[in-house]
A and B are shown apart, each in its own frame.
Chain A
C-alpha cells in the first residue's frame, strides 16, 4: 500500500500548504466567504422601487390628477416633482433629481371628453433599463384600471363586465416563473456563486503551482514532494482541494442562499450529485491551467478579467440561443458554463437530475479530459527532466532580458 501512503502524504502536505499560505487563504477562504455576502447584500432589494419621477401635467384635470395619484401610489414609481414645462422637468432629470418623466398634454382632457384616445407620454433616462421598466409597468397598470371605468361609461348600456369583455375578448395573464418578482438577486446570485467557486479555485491552485515553480527555480523544493509518482501527486493534491472546497461549497450553496432568503427549491441529493462533478471539473481544469503559472501572482492578473465574459457566455444573462456558435464552443471549455446552467436549473427552477443531463455529461467529460491533461502535465513537471526544463527556460528568459538592456 505504498501508493496510498504516498497519496495521503501529498494530501496532508497540500492541505497544510493551503491553510498556512496567506495568499492562498485569500482565494480559498476569504473571497468565497465574502463575495457571495457582498453580492447578496448589494442586490438584496431585488428590484428598483420608487424610481424618482417628475411630472408635467398640462391638462391638470380631475382625471389627470387621479392618474398621477394612482401612479404615485404604485411601488415602483415615486413622483418627486411637478413642473410647469418640459424644460424644467428635463433639467431635473439632468441634475439627477429624477430618472423618469410623465407628460400629460393639454389635449388629454379634450380627447377624453370627445371620446377619442388620450395619450400620456413617458420618458426614461436610459442609464438603467430598470427605470424604463418601472415607469412603463406602473403607468400601464394604472391606465388599464382607469380604462376599464371609462369604457363602461362610453359603451352606453353596457355593464363593467361587458365592457371589459368587449375590449379584451380574451384576457392575457402573465406569470414569471421561478423568480416571481423578476428580481436581480434571484437571477444573478446563483450564477455568481457558481462562478466564485471556479475562479477562486483557478487563482488559488495557480498560486500554489506558481509557488512550486518559484521554489524549483531556486532549488529549495522539498525533496519528498518531487519524489512521488505524478499520478499520486495528482490524486493527493486533488483530494486536498476537494476536501477544502466541499466545505466551501456547503457554505456558498447552502448557507448564503438560506441567509438571504434566495430561492432554493432543488432536491439536495440532486444538488450534491450535480455539484460533485462540477467541483471535480473545476479542480482538474485549474490544475491543468496551473501548469503555466510561472510565479505566484501571474494568474491573478491573467485570469480575473475573464470572470465577466464567462458570466455572459454562460447564458445566464444573454440567452444561450443568441450566443454565436464560436463563443458557444469556447464556453464549453469552462466548467462554469455547465455549472451555472445546471445549478440554476436545479436550485432555482426545481429541475431534477435527468433535466440537466447535457450539463452533467459536459462536466463529466471535462473532469475526464482535464484529469488526463492535468496528469500529463504533472508527468512533465514531476518527471526526471523537470529541473532541466526549468533551467533552460530560465536561462532563455535571462538572455532575452539581457539583450534589451
Chain B
C-alpha cells in the first residue's frame, strides 16, 4: 500500500467512518438492531406453543337431549375448542360469527336424537368461518375427530354386544383407514411453519433498505465524494469499507434468529446447524449485494428504495412458504426464482426439514451465489453517480 496515504485512506478508514455514521444517525440503530429484535420478539411471543388453544365455538342445540349434551361435552374436551355459548337458533349463531365472537358453531336440529335412535341417520352440521382460514381449518380437524369418535363409540358397543371380536369391529366400522405422517412437523406447529421464513424475510427486507439508504444518502447529503476519496477513489474499497461493519451487525442478527429458531424453540434442524447457517449468511450477503445492485441500477435514493420495498415485500408471498408456488400462475412461478428468499426457503425445506445431503440443494446455494455477483455488473455507474449526481428533491 501507498505509504503516505495509509494513515488517512483505505478500507479501514472507510470502516471507521461508517461506524461513526451508523452511531450518529438513530435510523441505523433502529433499523439494524431495534427493528429486527422487535420483529423476532414479536413472532417468538405471538404464537407461543405454535397452535391456537381454546378457539371459541358456539352451539345451537335445538334438540337438547342427554345424548346431544353428551356429544357437546366431548367436543369441549378438545384442547383447541372451547364452547363459549349456546344460541337459541341458527340466526343468532350466525350473527355471533359475523361479530367475530365465535369462529364456528354446531347446529343440532330438533329431532336428532329421535332419528338416531330409530336408525334414520340424522345430520348434525358444523359451520366454520372460513374467512379466518387458520382457526377454521383447526376447528375442522377437531370436528372430524369428534365425529369419528362419537359415531364409533355407539357402533362399537353394538358390535361387541353382537359378539364380534376386537379386530373385526374396526374392520367393519372403518375398513380402510388413513394414517397421516407430517414429515418433520407432526404437530402441525404453525409457529414452526411460519417463523422459519418470516424471521429471515424480515431481516432481508431491512438489509435491502439499510444498504440502499446508507449508500444513496451519501449522495443526498453531499458526502459521497469524501467517502470515495477516503477509499482511494476505488469503488470496491469504498463499498467494502461501508458494508463490512454493517455485515457484522447483520450477522449478529442472523445468529440471533438461528438461536431463536433452532435452540430456543428447538424446531427441526435435521441437517445440523451448518447448512442453515450457511444459507442465512448467504441470504444476508445476497441482500446487501441486491441493495448495491439497485443502487447501481437506479441512481436515486427514492427509486432504489421503492423498488427494494416492492421486491422485499413481494418476497414473502412469492417464496411460496405459505401458499405453495405450484399453485401460482405460470409467469409468477418463473418470476419466483428471481427472489433470493425463494431459494432460501427451498434450502430450508431440504436441509432443516428433510435433512437431505447438501448436494440436493446445490442449485439453490448456487443461485444465491449468482445474486451475490449482481453488484459486479456495473459498479462504475455507481461510482459516477457518487461523484456527479445531484440530489434534486
- What is the CB-to-nearest-CB distance from B316 to chain A, in angstroms, rounded to a whole number? 6
Chain B residue contacts of A211, Cβ below 8 A:
393
Query: For the complex, what is the distance from the CA of A145 to the CA of B97, rounded to whole Å?
Result: 32
For A155, the closest partner residue in chain B by CB is: B172
Question: Would you call A351 an interface residue if the criterion is a C-beta within 8 Å of the partner chain's C-beta atoms?
Answer: yes
**Residue B140, interface by CB 8 Å:** yes
Contact between A319 and B55, CB atoms less than 8 A apart? yes
**A173 pairs with B124, CB closer than 8 A:** yes
User: A323: CB under 8 A from chain B?
Assistant: yes
Interface size on A, residues (CB 8 A): 122
Alpha-carbon distance between A300 and B305 when the two chains are bound, in angstroms: 7
Nearest-CB distance from A61 to chain B (Å)?
12
Given A94-B354, A186-B131, A309-B39, check contact A125 B124 (CB 8 Å).
no
- Which residues of A, 16-54, contact B by the 8 Å Cβ criterion? 21-23, 26, 31, 38-39, 41-45, 47-49, 51-52
B186 nearest in chain A by CB position: A126
A305 touches B174 (CB 8 A): no
Whether A301 pairs with B209 at a CB distance below 8 angstroms is yes
Closest chain-A Cβ to B7's Cβ sits at a distance in Å of 15
Among A5-13, A176-184, A271-279, A372-380, the one that faces the other chain is: A176-184
Question: Chain B binding site: helix, strand, loop or mixed by DSSP?
Answer: helix
A389 within 8 Å of B by Cβ? no
- The contact string, 1 if C-beta is below 8 Å from chain A, for chain B 302-330, is 10011001101110111011111011110
Other-chain residue from B35, B168, B177 in contact with A305 (beta carbon distance below 8 A): B35
Q: Report if A146 contacts B (CB, 8 A).
A: yes
Contact in complex: A123, B181 (CB < 8 Å): yes
* A122 lies within 8 A of B179 (CB): yes
Nearest residue (CB) in B for A166 is B155
In the bound complex, residues from chain A placing their C-beta under 8 Å from that of B136 are: 176, 179, 182
User: Which residues from A are CB-within-8-Å of B46?
Assistant: 312-313, 318, 323-324, 327
In the complex, A165 has a CB within 8 A of chain B:
yes
**Cα distance A176–B184 when bound, in Å?**
28
Residues of B in contact, count (CB < 8 Å): 124
B128 within 8 A of A: yes
Question: Max chain A CB contacts within 10 Å: which of B119, B314, B326?
Answer: B326
A307 on interface, CB distance cutoff 8 Å = yes
| A304: B residues at CB distance < 8 A | 205, 209, 309, 312-313
Interface assignment of A246: CB less than 8 Å from any CB of chain B:
no
CB distance from A43 to the nearest CB of B (A): 6
Q: Which of A218-256 contact B (CB under 8 A)?
A: none
A114 and B170 CA atoms in complex are apart in Å by: 12
State whether A136 touches B178 (Cβ < 8 A): yes
B150, CB-defined interface residue at 8 Å: yes
Q: Please name the residue on chain A nearest to B348 by beta carbon.
A: A127
Which of B16-24, B233-241, B250-258, B374-382 is the contact stretch? B16-24
User: Please, which residues of chain A bring their CB within 8 A of the CB of B182?
Assistant: 124, 126, 132
Task: Provide the residues of chain B in CB contact with A167, threshold 8 Å.
Answer: 151, 155, 172-174
Whether A392 is near chain B, meaning CB under 8 Å from some CB there, is no
- B-facing residues in A93-139 (Cβ within 8 Å): 93-96, 99, 111-112, 114-133, 136, 139
Cβ contact within 8 Å between B171 and A45:
no
Chain B neighbourhood of A302, CB < 8 A: 27, 30-31, 35
Structural contact, A42 and B328, CB atoms closer than 8 A: yes
**Which residues of B lie under 8 Å from residue A326 when comparing CB positions?**
45
Within 8 A of B (CB), among A327-386: 327, 341, 344-345, 348-351, 355-356
Bound-complex Cα distance A132 to B184 (A): 12
* Chain A CB within 10 A, most for which of B53, B112, B181: B181
* Interchain residue pairs with CB less than 8 A apart (8): A52-B326, A94-B360, A168-B155, A296-B301, A297-B302, A302-B35, A313-B46, A355-B99
Residues of A within 8 A of B (CB): 21-23, 26, 31, 38-39, 41-45, 47-49, 51-52, 67, 93-96, 99, 111-112, 114-133, 136, 139-140, 143, 146-147, 150-151, 154-155, 161-162, 164-180, 182, 184, 186-188, 190, 207, 211, 295-298, 300-302, 304-305, 307-309, 312-313, 315-324, 326-327, 341, 344-345, 348-351, 355-356, 397, 400-401, 404-405
Instruction: Known A-B contacts: A132-B180, A318-B46. Give 5 more (CB < 8 A).
Output: A124-B182, A143-B177, A300-B209, A316-B132, A401-B24
Binding site for A on B (CB under 8 A): 17, 19-21, 23-25, 27, 30-31, 35, 38-39, 42-43, 45-48, 52-56, 71, 94-95, 97-100, 103, 112, 116, 119-137, 140, 143-144, 147, 150-151, 154-155, 158, 167-168, 170-185, 188, 190, 193, 198, 201-202, 205-206, 209-210, 213, 217, 220, 301-302, 305-306, 309-310, 312-314, 316-318, 320-324, 326-329, 332, 345-346, 349-350, 353-354, 356, 360, 393
